Structure 1
């Protein structure tokens, strides 16, 4: 069976992407955050958030999204209100993920795993989160949204210890999550997937930057753009413009690696061949669209049976999930029958 690949021409890439996109710029239909944040309810479940909530220039309640402490507290409130996760926290300097975008990834891969339109729920689904970080966000959301069991790996021991601490306050999550420290800096799946494992889906948010300096520069550009947009819309200058260093979050393994995102993706794709019979679907976020073409070429070279892109939108922000499988549709269908 031919590979479903948009690399046979640039127009094919556009068609493949368009097949997954939507006319609106909203989140996934099942995403609880499509209507924005209910700050009154969020403050009710986590009163600490009140110190960061203020009316914006339009008169609506909001927070300063350039403040890392405000965003972290908002995350804790969102996880408690909507996903029943208690006492979520991360150490200073670690990556604080956007909850709406992270749960969108899970909803789309749940659709990918659907059988005859029915999204699978329960512990028969085994997901693997590569590089879970100190926040552990994908296992937390995946377990609470769908009841899947998760394996989550990370190379950083401090990150894993923090996830253990979160799980200690959340027994339901703890019973469905296995944490594995990756001890080989050059490996991704090796040492994490055991010979007896059968994984339905892998997830990953690859390090984007090539170095610490590159990561800091990117963070400064982001905050400068935020300040500029505020000034343009509201004729004010953001007080956070000069606080980029204070608001920088993310450790080395979370934000940068040698060669940046594209090299990490190449490594992941190459190594995925070794586990092609143990994993139904591999997936990864791809931040930079220019990285899609080389990924497709490498996947074709590695013999992937099916390759596709799932587009996600959050307002004007667009991200994408690259998914691939080495199993034929017939084998994937047979695999799915065991999950029913």
Structure 2
């Protein structure tokens, strides 16, 4: 499983600790199994186990109380978050609409309206969610009420024949649409296999519990999305961006041809990686002032392993004067340095022998620290007013930079016990800055100010 190819802001780039979940949530514990090595795992082919995993992660990480019916599709969170975060990237690139509130449409919201509740909880977005299935509609309404999200999410019961027409308020301007279409053709329910002796399953391998309408439709996903494209032409005056997930790579080319035929002004495609599963995303617009084709890739394409993290080994001998030689102590001192550099951070892994934090830098505060200190000291000794003017210039530059981009650099720090007398400090670049070079600079700063003093 290569989680490093997930969206850079996806919190599940570091997989959840199943042992921790099993200890905290009895409903998950009954599905957890311990291997001879001591590792805790679940059977991802067991829909009940995947359902339990999704519900406890929603509860722990997003404070969302969700009950998933046993005969409906189980939303796997890494994939859903990859899609949501990509939509956020599209909105940032296209620049926000004149209104402050972000408004989206979820076509076929499913049993717990997963996209709207995640977006409402994480981003404060507002959603109109449509659903044709009676069970899904009822469960989604209950989910919204249970989590007190009625002010942000509206669920509309619709017919299966219409996706957008007649289902939305055309006097309202919407920022985007989302759609997770049925991937398979109901006339040929079992997908074609490379070998007739090995037919592929009708459902996804993970959480293979779903109603037929959720995973199959007459003509398959290309026909479904073709209809969505036609309806998007009719409501293009009130929707800025249209998006959909695609389940098969072979569907991407014919769908792009349909977009060109429909007169879309621009479109963009991406890939969603999560575990061993890959899905695709397509976005299009009829707005001439939005050039989706120019959207920069925010993560590397799937060309194998990404760049390895920078690693520095902290020895017990060098740490003697700094207190206890533990992972907790090393991480604490490291976080103190992040605070000195005016960085924000959040804990993403917390075990006795392995801890990790993700950090965000709003500006470059670590480069040429020694030179800056010497210059400041020299100017102070001269009694000059120059430092204040220089500071004002730096503040102005930083303000412009923050205005153009909400962050400068994102990275991950992992502290891990590697032996009785050694602890490994790893710095992994996620996004922004000068890439790996920025991580090199931060590591050098840490070495100068902590590990080699």
TM-score bin (small chain): 0.7 to 0.9
Unaligned 5+ segments in structure 1 are: 1-22, 227-243, 333-340
Q: Is the 8 A contact 1:134 1:160 kept in 2?
A: yes
Unaligned 5+ segments in structure 2 are: 293-453
CA separation in 1, counterparts of 2:204 and 2:82?
24
Q: Is the 8 A contact 2:31 2:49 kept in 1?
A: yes
CA separation in 1, counterparts of 2:112 and 2:224?
20
Q: Is the 8 A contact 1:132 1:154 kept in 2?
A: yes
CA separation in 2, counterparts of 1:224 and 1:204?
18
CA separation in 2, counterparts of 1:257 and 1:224?
13
Partner of 1:193: 168
Q: Larger C-alpha radius of gyration, 1 or 2?
A: 2
Structure 2 residue 157 is the aligned partner of structure 1 residue 174: no
CA separation in 2, counterparts of 1:274 and 1:46?
47
Partner of 2:84: 106
Paired residues for 1:127-276 under 5 Å: 127-171=104-148, 173-183=149-159, 185-211=160-186, 214=189, 221-222=200-201, 248-276=208-236
**How much does 1:92 deviate?**
2.1
Q: Greater relative contact order (Cα 8 A, min sep 6): structure 1 or 2?
A: 1
Partner of 2:266: 306
CA separation in 1, counterparts of 2:258 and 2:39?
48
What secondary structure is seen at the aligned counterpart in 2 of 1:70?
A: helix
The TM-score with structure 1 as length reference comes to 0.76
Partner of 2:388: none
CA separation in 1, counterparts of 2:36 and 2:228?
45
Structure 1 residue ranges (4+ consecutive) displaced by more than 3 angstroms after TM superposition? 56-59, 215-220, 222-226
What secondary structure is seen at the aligned counterpart in 2 of 1:309?
A: strand
Structure 2 residue 281 is the aligned partner of structure 1 residue 321: yes
Number of residue pairs aligned between Structure 1 and Structure 2 = 286
Name the stretch that deviates more: 147-156 or 193-202: 193-202
The structure-2 alpha-carbon separation of the partners of 1:299 and 1:262, relative to structure 1 and needing over 3 Å to count, comes to same
Q: Is the 8 A contact 2:128 2:153 kept in 1?
A: yes
The TM-score with structure 2 as length reference comes to 0.58
The structure-2 alpha-carbon separation of the partners of 1:57 and 1:210, relative to structure 1 and needing over 3 Å to count, comes to farther
What secondary structure is seen at the aligned counterpart in 2 of 1:52?
A: coil
**How much does 1:315 deviate?**
3.8
What secondary structure is seen at the aligned counterpart in 2 of 1:329?
A: coil
**How much does 1:32 deviate?**
0.9
**How much does 1:170 deviate?**
0.5
**How much does 1:323 deviate?**
0.4
Q: Is the 8 A contact 2:68 2:111 kept in 1?
A: yes
**How much does 1:268 deviate?**
0.6
Bigger strand fraction = 2
CA separation in 2, counterparts of 1:58 and 1:144?
38
Q: Is the 8 A contact 1:42 1:81 kept in 2?
A: no
Q: Is the 8 A contact 2:191 2:201 kept in 1?
A: no
What secondary structure is seen at the aligned counterpart in 2 of 1:270?
A: helix
The structure-2 alpha-carbon separation of the partners of 1:36 and 1:222, relative to structure 1 and needing over 3 Å to count, comes to farther
**How much does 1:43 deviate?**
3.5
Q: Is the 8 A contact 1:27 1:312 kept in 2?
A: yes
Offset from partner CA, 1:14-34 (integer Å, 9 cap, x none): xxxxxxxxx985211111111
1:291 corresponds to which of 247, 251, 266 = 251
Partner of 1:33: 12
Alpha-carbon RMSD across the aligned residues, in angstroms, is 3.1
